[in-house]
Structure 1
């Protein structure tokens, strides 16, 4: 037997299984079909209405912010230079390795190119900015 509990606003608080968890008095038993949906569908918030019906409110669609070309360039430059996740660190390491005659610098440079391209995808040009640069 499977149960769920809800907070005072009616939002899903916990999922419980008889024999594994202590089942509080306010827990609601759910059938296998609803249990699977509650545990697998993570694209919304599960709630219990005043009428006792359990349903899912979908998350709102995310809107990507519109940046100016200057803002996109600034975001990219910061991302390229990030010492942990940026691409510049790969290029600096590859250049040092090549200058010192160390093997494997080509792989490091390729990682830098890959990360550079990922950053450009993370911060794409807006249509008007892309048209202005062509």
Structure 2
């Protein structure tokens, strides 16, 4: 984006809108387990400025906790993303009286393919 603004005809051209960056951040944090909250950091490094990021830290895990999870999962040969998704589901439904929906969501996550490409091709 910076290059396009620098050499292009419109110095204010935005290739990725702030709303899109907020949605990318949400997806990375909630669906991909980006506990380090990388999007604001990447944006700051590339653009040299910050956006007005929403401070939504409802039970979010920290980067340090993500590192601990990664080490623990590797030790027990469990996919990190699997455990991260399960923890995120639990965080999202925390406090719900009816937990029937959580079981369905957990079943969906467990039904995903968690083997590596290498493990699949060995079969």
Answer whether TM exceeds 0.5 for this pair: no
Structure whose residues are more often strand by fraction: 1
| TM-score (structure 2 length as normaliser) | 0.28
| TM-score (structure 1 length as normaliser) | 0.26
Structure whose residues are more often helix by fraction: 2
User: Which has the greater radius of gyration?
Assistant: 1
